[in-house]
Amino acid sequence: MLALAAMGELPDGVLRRVEAELERGFGLRVRRMTPVAEPSEAYSPARGQWSSAAFLKALLARVPADATRLLGVTERDLFVPVLSFVYGQAQLEGRVAVVSLARLRPEFHGLPADTAELERRAATEAVHEIGHTFGLVHCADRLCPMSLSIDLVDLDRKTAEPCPGCSALLEGSLEMKRTRAGGPR
């Protein structure tokens, strides 16, 4: 089971779309948790942004016992020290990931608000970040959600459905986890 948590006030439609695409992409049930507080120590006044690593740390402390992964979604503009921003971040083969809606919003870029576009982008980025937690790395297929997105042109080209290669790797990863847990094969 995958857990999903809002970090702050979020549009319900975004969370519903993220849930649907995660269930479709990973074949696992998604359960929405009660919201998780934003880590106040994550804010960097010098940058005017929030540390994605601090969000991951806060999420790691809140992973439900019955969940294999926890995805947090925030409105905050996230960064890692070596980049000017990130759409999200995940622990590679870890348990937590976070997605930021800030730069996924058309209005962030001076365009009219577009709820459908925001929901699509958030779902694609959620699949990307949760894919990292299952060990998937960046894919060369530019349509695959696991391809690298350095801007919205890259992100908007992608779908939320993993390519055949990433799907096969993901199935292998999920099968190994089921076998280790003693579950059905």
Q: What is the pLDDT of residues 109-130, one digit of tens each?
A: 999 999 999 999 999 999 999 9
**What is the model's pLDDT at position 44?**
97
User: Who wins on pLDDT, 4 or 177?
Assistant: 4
Length of the chain equals 185
Residue holding tokens 């870029």? 109
Residues with catalytic roles: 129
Domains and CATH numbers, the chain: 2-180 (3.40.390.10)
**Res. 172 pLDDT band, cuts 50 70 90:** confident
The verdict on pTM exceeding 0.95 is no
Q: How far is CA 70 from CA 17, 85, 91, 104, 156, in A?
A: 16, 21, 11, 20, 24
Instruction: Name the more confident of 183 and 98.
Output: 98
Calculate the CA 101 to chain-centre distance: 10
